[in-house]
Structure 1
Amino acid sequence: LMPMLAIYLFQKINGWGIHELGHREKRFVPYALTIISYVTCLITMYKIHLPRYMSGIIVAALICMILCTLINFKWKISTHVASSGMMVGGLLSYSFIFNFNPIWWLCFFILLSGMLGTARIIVKQHTLLEVLAGFIVGLFCGVIGILFI
């Protein structure tokens, strides 16, 4: 709630609307606030001794946001599709940890990711390459953040 409120107030103070965030240069403040939120959540989870597999979701999301922010310095990447790619990577990771067959869930989330990527292209917020890169970054972060870190 706090990052959303901070982003909203920042937009109102600077006179930004939702369309201004489509510009690569104007995304850094929301990215920074999101990263701070994830770090705070991770510290809280660590302090209350939650199991590693639960905090892995936040680790994966934090890594994904950091990578998207770094990539954003040079190139606009789809963080929406990166999040959906992270969902697919997280589902794969948890299927290894808890030994279950995720085939139907994978089909559903891959289809949903494709629909989201298509929508981002149709509304002219991203190109096909930006959408594909976002999905690959998210998939990588979902697997690495949950299984290996």
Structure 2
Amino acid sequence: MGAITVQMTAETAGATVIRRMPEPRGARLVTDGLDPKTWLVAASVLVGWGTSGLVGVGWALAALCFAGVLPVLLIKLRVRSGAWSDRHLGVRRQRLMAMAMIVASVTCGAALMAALGAPVPMVALLVAIGAVLTLLGAITFVWKISVHTAASSGSVVMLVLVYGVWALLAAPLVVLVGWSRVALRDHTAAQTVAGAVVGSTAAWVVFSLVF
């Protein structure tokens, strides 16, 4: 009985050590620094500038209110209140709720901007974001696909459509984001690859059609 107790204690202690192992600092910096909102800001401003100059940048800021500012504020409020776990939304139900909220905000933003005469590329960007999130939400019901790699790959694709193949120089950052998600054990390699495929494909199809 004593031997069994010692073994169980050792196993429990071992499990505790595993849970408390420090996460890779580099991976955390990449995940936080290149999260979806970072890509959203970069893609919006660059698409606006590349298609309509300063006027496009102004509309990009308006688009960011619907696709970034409002959703981020709501997520922060929910996290601070304790209703949601963290800003990366690791819990499936919370992630689905956030996606639905962002899609609704983006849809309203695209409709309003189109009615106000915004440049077509900026409306196309919001429609593409909504389409990508809708697909990710449908997949999230059964599988935890990576939103980080979807956002980064989708952004790169839209920049390629605006600036040409030179924008592919940003592609290694997508790989770096995928590595960080796997290193932090937030996703498997398959989930990050799937996110990149879904994000890039949906962004390419939708942005091309509207743009």
Place the TM-score, normalised by the shorter chain, in its bin. Answer: 0.7 to 0.9
| Equivalence for 1:32 | 100
Aligned partner (choices 61, 66, 70) of residue 2 of structure 1: 70
| Equivalence for 1:89 | 157
How far 1:55 sits from its partner (Å)? Answer: 1.2
Q: Deviations over 1:16-73 (max 9, x none)?
A: 3317821223311111121122112101211111222221111111100000001101
Work out whether residues 132 and 202 of structure 2, in 8 Å CA contact, stay in contact via their aligned partners in 1.
Answer: yes
| Equivalence for 1:98 | none
CA-based RMSD:
1.8
Q: 1:53 to 1:16 in 2, by over 3 A?
A: closer
Aligned partner (choices 102, 111, 123) of residue 165 of structure 2: 102
Written as runs of structure 1 = structure 2, the 5 A alignment for 1:1-149 is 1-18=69-86, 21-95=89-163, 101-103=164-166, 105-107=167-169, 109-149=170-210
Q: Distance in 2 between matches of 1:9 and 1:55?
A: 28
Work out whether residues 89 and 141 of structure 1, in 8 Å CA contact, stay in contact via their aligned partners in 2.
Answer: no
User: Residue 122 of structure 1 aligns to which amino acid in structure 2?
Assistant: A
Query: Looking at CA atoms only, which structure, 1 or 2, has the larger radius of gyration?
Result: 2
Q: 1:106 to 1:17 in 2, by over 3 A?
A: same
- Greater relative contact order (CA < 8 Å, ≥ 6 in sequence): 1
Work out whether residues 106 and 130 of structure 2, in 8 Å CA contact, stay in contact via their aligned partners in 1.
Answer: yes
TM-score normalised per structure 2: 0.62
Q: 1:124 to 1:19 in 2, by over 3 A?
A: farther
- Unaligned ranges ≥5, structure 2: 1-68
Number of residue pairs matched by the alignment? 142
Identity of counterpart residues, as a percentage? Answer: 27
How far 1:85 sits from its partner (Å)? Answer: 0.9
